[in-house]
Amino acid sequence: MSLVLTRIDNRLIHGQVLEAWVPFVKADCIVVANDDIAAKPLKKLMMKASVPSRMRVEIGTVAESVALLKSNQLDRCKVLLLFGTTSDAVRAYREGLAFNQLNLGNLQANKGKARLSCTLFLDPTDLDDLELLDQAGIRITSRCIPADSERFWRKLIPVYKGRV
């Protein structure tokens, strides 16, 4: 199995992923690791319905997805892995999933979150999570779609510190 992209995006599967990233990284399988969606069958069904039938989609809890990725079921696939939050990414990492790059896509605004870039809103715990992953040698960058320029996540932080 090859993991061609690991992305954090609170909207999970949507236009940016399917239209821009899938052709760019030539993925043929999307794995969504999210406990919330895994628990809601209808939501899961809708998400699967938005993907062309020639692509494989696996939606499961973080633990299930990590187990799936570690097994040899997806050996022949180029996998695009999606997380909903930074803490899910950390959990996957703790469960022993090996990935060396992490792309930050969209993280929705909630109360108490500060803006890092147009579509990234992070709170201090998110930053701690990212710090932990960074320490583990994972290259974290922010990039909405492939046509945008890639920015290293630390470069965004002074903006954050200045605002708080």
CB 40 within 8 A of CB 46: no
Measured in whole angstroms, the distance separating CA 74 from the mean position of its chain's CA atoms is 18
Phi/psi for 34 (5° steps) reads -155, 120
CA–CA dist 3, 131 (Å, integer): 22
Residues 3, 4, 7, 16: which binds another protein (CB under 8 A)? 16
Please say which residue, 26 or 94, places its beta carbon nearer to another protein.
26
Residues 89-148 that bind another protein (CB under 8 A): 106, 108-109, 118-119, 121, 144-148
Assess 159 for contact with another protein (CB under 8 A). Answer: no
Assess 41 for contact with another protein (CB under 8 A). Answer: no
Three-point CA angle 27, 13, 92, nearest 5°: 75
Contacting positions for another protein (CB under 8 A) = 11-20, 22-24, 40, 42-43, 45-47, 49-54, 106, 108-109, 118-119, 121, 144-148
